[in-house]
Amino acid sequence: MTRSIGIFGCGTIATEIARAIADGTLSADLAVVYDRHPENVTAIRDLFDDRSQPTAATQPSELLEADLVLEAAGQTAVEEIAADALAADRDCLLLSVGALAADDLREDVFAAAEESDGRLYAPSGAIAGLDAIKAAALTGDLESVSLTTTKPPAGLEGAPYVVENGIDLSAVDEPTVIFEGPATEAAAAFPSNINVAVALSLAGIGPDETAVRIVADPDEENNVHRISADGDMGHIETTVQNVPSPTNPKTSYLAAISAIEKLRSLETAIDVGT
């Protein structure tokens, strides 16, 4: 049976996923899409011929018509849809997983997942190494996990932490650490930039214990995520030098194809990797 998908948010990531469905890379039925900007909905619907165009939802609850609800909008959208989708026994895939750094929301969503016939998915997104971190965390002997993210200053513009602290990113003329703290704080301070830190923390030792450093570097063209972890299993280090998406420099292209691969893996007979 072909799985039907409903997408919350019709921006950069959703467009890549819709394209993968439209061109057959991903075997799924894009049934329904929702966005507060109708022109973004139209752009996604236009990727399909008349017979297979997704329905334009007028409110998020209409996404529950699909078997799997995929959030690619932002952290507030996770509050709006995740627990409801799971409570309706739908699968739910979240890109803005940083929303789960908030204890109340995480508890609600995880409780809904536990009781649901659906499953909650948080893909690796723009980072590499969650397979190894998950395995290492299993024994309880993972001692430390940290993420250092370096982005071009433009990729950090508009973040609440930048605005509230009056950080002038245009004046940054050398690699500059602009934030250091736990994933819990990073997710709220940079909601569109560092969701990966919370995905990492959920695979590993939790959002309060996962250390995050954010660097603005005017000479860096990529979104670079470096993970370092230590424990009884040894030392894990991964670096991804991500190409930013042309339509949204905050978002790495890998984030979109990671979600596509996660969706594809739900349908395959052979499962490679942890």
Ligand X SMILES: NC(=O)C1=CN([C@@H]2O[C@H](COP(=O)(O)OP(=O)(O)OC[C@H]3O[C@@H](n4cnc5c(N)ncnc54)[C@H](O)[C@@H]3O)[C@@H](O)[C@H]2O)C=CC1
Ligand Y SMILES: O=C([O-])CC(=O)C(=O)O
Strand order in the sheet with 120-121: 55-56, 29-34, 4-8, 68-71, 91-94, 120-121
Could you tell me the smallest distance in angstroms from the CB atom of residue 37 to ligand X?
4
Q: Please give the Cα distance from 113 to 91 (Å, whole number).
A: 9
Cβ atoms of residues 172 and 216 within 8 Å: yes
Query: CA 47, CA 75: separation in Å to the nearest integer?
Result: 26
Q: Which is nearer to ligand X, 14 or 236 (CB)?
A: 14
What is the SS3 assignment for 93? Answer: strand
The answer on whether 195 is annotated among ligand-binding residues is yes
* Residue 18 interacts with, from ligand X, ligand Y, none (CB under 5-8 Å by kind): none
Q: Binder to ligand Y among 63, 101, 102, 196 (CB under 6 A)? A: 196
**Which strand ranges, in their side-by-side order, compose the sheet holding 234-242?**
176-182, 211-216, 142-151, 223-231, 234-242
Q: Is 225 a catalytic residue?
A: yes
Q: Which of 125, 152, 155, 244 binds ligand X (CB under 6 A)?
A: 125
**Which residue in the set 5, 6, 7, 10 belongs to the binding site for ligand X (CB under 6 A)?**
10
The H or E element spanning position 151 is strand 142-151
**Residue 251 found at the interface with ligand Y (CB under 6 A):** yes
Report if residue 15 touches ligand Y, rule: CB under 6 A. Answer: no
Say whether residue 109 binds ligand Y (CB under 6 A).
Answer: no
Query: Catalytic pick from 90, 151, 225, 250?
Result: 225
| Binder of ligand Y out of 250, 259, 260, 263 (CB under 6 A) | 250
User: Per CB under 6 A, does 72 bind ligand Y?
Assistant: no
Q: Please, are residues 81 and 8 in contact by the beta-carbon 8 Å criterion? A: yes
Query: 126 among the known binding-site residues?
Result: yes
Q: Which of residues 177-236 bind ligand X (CB under 6 A)?
A: 192, 195-196, 199
**Catalytic (active-site) positions:** 225
